[in-house]
Amino acid sequence: MLPKFLLADNTDLPEAVFIVHTEYPRFVLNLENDEVSWFDALDPDDGKALLESEVQELIVDAETFYQREVDRFLP
């Protein structure tokens, strides 16, 4: 079982920090520019308003996860 969120970086983008969401809908959030890259196609039958609110909640959860992780490593 994977954690819900993972931190990632890439040497080609040294300023960027990425959050990977491992559950549906899977995505990578670039915290440097707030760009979201999706691994899964979102099902339009789920309802546009519902999807938008769920996606916004997931992005807030990802940012909260990142802040909690940073707070644990910085004094």
Domain coordinates in residue numbering, the chain: 5-73
Within 10 A of 73 (CB to CB), how many other CB atoms are there?
6
* Residues paired with 20 in a beta bridge: 6, 28
Q: Phi and psi for 53 in degrees, rounded to 5?
A: -70, -40
Q: Which residue has the tokens 């890439």?
A: 10
pTM score: 0.83
Q: pLDDT tens for residues 12-64? A: 999 999 999 999 889 999 999 999 999 988 777 766 665 778 889 999 999 99
Q: In this predicted structure, what is the pLDDT of residue 59?
A: 93
Q: In this predicted structure, what is the pLDDT of residue 27?
A: 93
Q: In this predicted structure, what is the pLDDT of residue 40?
A: 84
